[in-house]
Structure formats: C-alpha cells, structure tokens
C-alpha cells in the first residue's frame, strides 16, 4: 500500500454513528465510499470530509436491497482502486413486543440488522481476498447480550450479528481479513431518541445511567 491511501466503505453513513465513523476515518487518513438512503445527508457528511482535506464519494442506496452491497463495493473499487475496510453502521431499532410485531417489522429488523451486513461482508470479503487483507467491522449493540421488554427484534438481530462476527473471523483469517464487532450502549442519536420515547409510551421504558454522544468532541462544552 505504499503511496496509497487506505479505502473504507461505511454503510449508514448519513447520520448518527455512521456519520461520525466516516468523519473519524477521514481524519485517520482513509478515502471513503459512503452509502445510505439519503443522498442529501450523505453529501453533508462528504462535505465535512472534503473540508478537512479528505476524499469521499457517495452512493445513495437502500441497504435492504440485495444489489446494494455489490454496487457499493464496485463503486469503491472504481473510484479509489481498492477496498481495505468495511464498517457496517446501517440498522434499525424497532421497539415492539414480539406478539405485536407484524411480519413486515420482523423482516425489516432482520434485513437491516443482519442480512444487509452479511451481504456487505460477503461482497467486501471477495474483493479483500484478492488483495490478501482487509478489515470488517460490524456495529452491534449491548442489546446483543442484555435486553428489555419491547426489544426482542433488535436483540435477536444484533445477537445474530455477534454470532456472524465470530464465524466470519474464522472463515477469513487465512485471507488476512480481520473481522470484529463493537457493541455500543445508548448513544444520543435521532433513532435512539425516537425509540426511547416509543418504549416509554409502551409502558416498558429503558433507562440508562448515562448515554454517549456520537462525537464527544462536538458535544463537549467549552
């Protein structure tokens, strides 16, 4: 990789954790392929990256669509010539008790939180194997290990993501690809705020002693 910058693909990069992961990777010297549904929000993040001297390209796509993963990998390779890292941040937190969940809600949670990361990891690993190395990081959740009423869909899908991480790390080690997951607790994002309100209305509020900011530097008071 002499004289070449590493390239990262970030899903769910338009806001929240994904946006801050993208900004942090840019500071660390990565070129970025950013993907999420909102082209407008993606461009706002890319603008921040470029303002700091980084390079970012955007691909507006729905992670639930099976073709989106291969399209993102192809876009990264076409734009930057390689792909060194994948960070899967796209997901959904749907607060509903299992007995009240429709098939549509069941499938959406599994699709975004588990199937989409599987497809992105599969297509990314194919590209990385040709380079004999790379990094894959999944954003799981502490709810993969502990849970609460109303969080069955989220817990099941994130626990599956942790299981995927363990298996995939063993599958890809001989290709020089490392696979890890991080499990954040409560982070003050738009999605988290909306779901905490929903859980309170459902009569099963989830409370935390403290919560994190996606970017502590931005939230720090002078």
Which residue in 154, 157, 165, 177 is the catalytic one? Answer: 154
Give the Cα separation of 213 and 74 in Å (integer).
Answer: 32
Contacts of 25 (CB under 8 A, 6+ apart): 8, 10, 32, 85, 87
151 noted as active-site residue? no
What stretch of H or E contains 33? strand 31-36
Which residue's structure tokens are 């390079």? 55
Give the Cα separation of 102 and 104 in Å (integer).
Answer: 5
Q: Which two tokens stand for residue 202?
A: 């459902």
H-state helical runs in 58-147 = 68-80, 103-110, 116-131
Beta-bridged to residue 134, according to DSSP, are 177
DSSP letter at 173 equals G
Contacts of 99 (CB under 8 A, 6+ apart): none
Active site residues: 154
């Amino acid at each position: 990789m002499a004289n070449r910058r590493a390239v990262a693909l970030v899903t769910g990069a338009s806001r929240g954790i994904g946006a801050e992961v993208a900004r942090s990777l840019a500071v660390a010297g990565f070129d970025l392929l950013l993907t999420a549904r909102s082209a407008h929000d993606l461009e706002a993040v890319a603008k921040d990256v470029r303002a700091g001297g980084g390079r970012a390209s955007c691909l507006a796509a729905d992670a639930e669509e099976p073709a989106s993963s291969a399209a993102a990998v192809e876009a990264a390779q076409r734009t930057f010539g390689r792909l060194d890292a994948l960070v899967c941040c796209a997901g959904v937190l749907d607060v509903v008790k299992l007995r009240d969940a429709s098939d549509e809600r069941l499938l959406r949670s599994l699709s975004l939180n588990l199937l989409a990361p599987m497809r992105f990891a599969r297509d990314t690993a194919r590209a990385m194997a040709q380079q004999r190395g790379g990094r894959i990081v999944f954003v799981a959740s502490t709810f993969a290990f502990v849970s609460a009423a109303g969080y069955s869909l989220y817990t099941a899908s994130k626990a599956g993501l942790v299981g995927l991480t363990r298996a995939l790390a063993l599958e890809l080690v001989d290709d020089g690809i490392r696979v890890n997951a991080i499990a954040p607790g409560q982070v003050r994002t738009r999605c988290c705020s909306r779901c905490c309100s929903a859980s309170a209305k459902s009569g099963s509020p989830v409370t935390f002693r403290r919560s994190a900011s996606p970017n502590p530097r931005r939230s720090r008071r002078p």
